[in-house]
Amino acid sequence: MIKQKSNYLNEFKSKTTKSKEFFLEAKDVMPGGVTANIKSFDPYPVIMEKGKGAYLYDKDGNEYVDYLLSYGALMLGHGHPQVIRAIQEQLETDGTMLFGTPHQLEMDMGKKIKELYPSMDKVRYTNSGTEATLLALRLAYAYTGKYKIAKFEGHYHGGYDQVLLSVNPSLEEAGEQHEPNSVLESKGIDPYYAEQTVTLPFNDLEHTYSILKKQKDEIAAVILEPIQGGFIPAEREFLKGLRKITEELDILLIFDEVKTGFRLGLGGAQGYYEIDPDITALGKVVGGGFPVGIVGGKEDIMMVSAPTASSDVFDSSQSKRSSAKDVLFHSGTYNGHPTILAAGLKTIEVLEQEIEQVFTITERLKHGIEDLFKRRGVAMQCIGQGSIFNVVMTEKEKVMNYRDLQDANFSLRKELDFGLLSKGIYTKPLNRYSLATVHGEKELNQTLEAYDAVLSEMF
């Protein structure tokens, strides 16, 4: 039972006055004061000045144990010395931060990815996870000659038109649970994409199969997060069944492992579940803190993008023999950026030695938080696998999908988050927790002490 309405929001405001001042000034420069909507929250975001190891420091000098870690990207924490050294060595050795030509690190990273993700026969680099899923879909269209896709309700694959549907729809708009509507999630999206994107019920194989079967001749691929939102796992039998029915229906299976790559193991969710998708998209961790995306898949699919003579769209004005439209065009000035690949390779090297300790500390944190709630008789679950999880205030026995999650008490969770912020524990309110190699005994104890204090005040 809640003791009384907390004063955490006022405490947050009193401790972050410089963040508020900065935010008000930033609103004169950027729409809404931010350059990415995800960075915003009410009443204003905390403005950070410095990061080191497991910690962030804001403009008011407050110190936080960081569990956002740039939405999971920083699996070695902030400013890891080996990553910094790798960047410096790349710049000193190569003499440049960008070649604009093929180079050795493209090969080195590609070989390492192929070793860790055996389903990826060949790879291409992009500049973000969003770009990676975008290329994955274009490969699927080109390879199959079909132009619809299917995604799952509650799954996020980037901020572009084809996939920004039914990520967080209202239940009124979402329709029937077993056959969800495709709901546009942003202004400015052509309603055409609601017709071209089929929405599926996650962890429901029977109805997923029924929907896919009806439109199998139009759907190029099913794309999914094997762990929805980074924390709601697919049932093992569901994923095995999905792999089987996509093969039966001649539909490609795309794993969006931007969140899960390296966070469930060095081989991502596909290694954890022992399932080979047709195409994989990676991002976040593999960039070592820099923007990156990697797309890989079966050789015959990936070869659709292989350039041939005069297949560059930019050569068409100079050559009457241009055949650019005969291959899948994919390019980008910064694809395979050497500095980023150096940082990413060093990150993988460190994780190969230290990843198990991240999983161990994550499990201890989850069990510690659950125990503190249990002592007070408050219903909640720490849901997730590997080094990511979320704190879900729910009485449901098991959260399987987006609809189950809607029964959670979000207002109580938000109050908890502001209480934790006031005691130096950082994640964006209502967001998941990501852990890193730099989270140790000190951070674990500090976090559980903060939870204990906040819960004692709340309940």
- List active site positions: 156, 256, 284
CA distances from 412 to 12, 380, 388 (A): 16, 11, 21
User: Which residues neighbour 27 within 8 Å (Cβ) at sequence distance 6 or greater?
Assistant: 33
- What's the burial of 17, exposed, middle or buried (CB within 10 Å: 0-12/13-18/19+)? exposed
Q: What is the rounded distance in angstroms from the CA atom of residue 185 to the CA atom of residue 254?
A: 21
273 strand-pairing partners: none
**What is the length of the chain?**
459
Q: Could you tell me where the DSSP H helices lie in 204-311?
A: 205-214, 236-248, 268-273, 299-302
Torsion of CA 295, 269, 221, 151, to 10 degrees: -120
**What is the number of other CB atoms lying within 10 angstroms of the CB of residue 270?**
23
Q: Which of 383, 388, 387, 405 is nearest to 396 (CA)?
A: 405
Residue 95: DSSP 8-state: S
Query: Strands 122-126, 293-297: parallel, antiparallel or unpaired by DSSP?
Result: antiparallel
Identify each DSSP E strand in 104-250 by its residue range: 122-126, 148-152, 197-200, 219-224, 227-228, 232-233
